[in-house]
Amino acid sequence: MRQSLILFLLFVTNAHFVSAQSSIFQLTNPESVKLLDEVALLYKKPVIAVDARLAENVSALAEIAIDGTPVIKVPAGRDPSEADLVHELFHLKLIAEGFGFIRFTKALPAAVETRLYQWVKDPIQHTIFFPRMKEMGFNPSEQIERIASSSQSGFVVQSAQPRDLSLVPLFALQMALRDNTALFDKFVEGKVDKDDIAVSRQAVAIVVKDNPRTPSEEAATVVKVLNCLIPSVGTFSFGRWEQQRKGAVVIKTAIIEVGTPEPQRFCVQ
DSSP code, position 206: H
Residue 154: DSSP 8-state: G
Helix, strand, coil percentages (3-state) for the chain, rounded to 5, are: 50, 15, 35
Burial of 159 (0-12, 13-18, 19+ CB in 10 A): exposed
* Length of the chain counted residue by residue: 269
Rounded Cα–Cα distance for residues 16 and 209 (Å): 38
CB atoms within 10 A of CB 213: 11
Beta strands in 76-200 (DSSP E): 101-104
Q: What is the pLDDT along the chain (269 residues), one digit of tens a residue?
A: 333 222 333 332 233 333 334 445 678 899 999 999 999 999 999 998 888 887 767 788 899 999 999 999 988 877 788 998 999 999 999 999 999 899 999 988 777 888 898 889 999 999 999 999 999 999 887 766 665 555 554 444 455 566 788 889 889 889 988 888 887 887 788 878 889 999 999 999 999 999 999 999 999 999 999 999 999 899 999 999 999 999 999 999 999 999 999 888 888 76
How far from the centroid of its chain's Cα atoms is residue 92's Cα?
10
Task: Break the chain into its structural domains and give their ranges.
Answer: 6-96, 101-258
Residue type, 94: L
Q: What one-character-per-residue DSSP string does 16-44 give? A: -B-HHHHHHTT--SHHHHHHHHHHHHHHT
Q: State CA 106 to chain mean position distance.
A: 22
Bridge partner list, 246: 249
Euclidean distance between CA atoms 76 and 189, whole angstroms: 33
Determine the pLDDT at residue 16: 34
pTM for the structure as a whole: 0.84
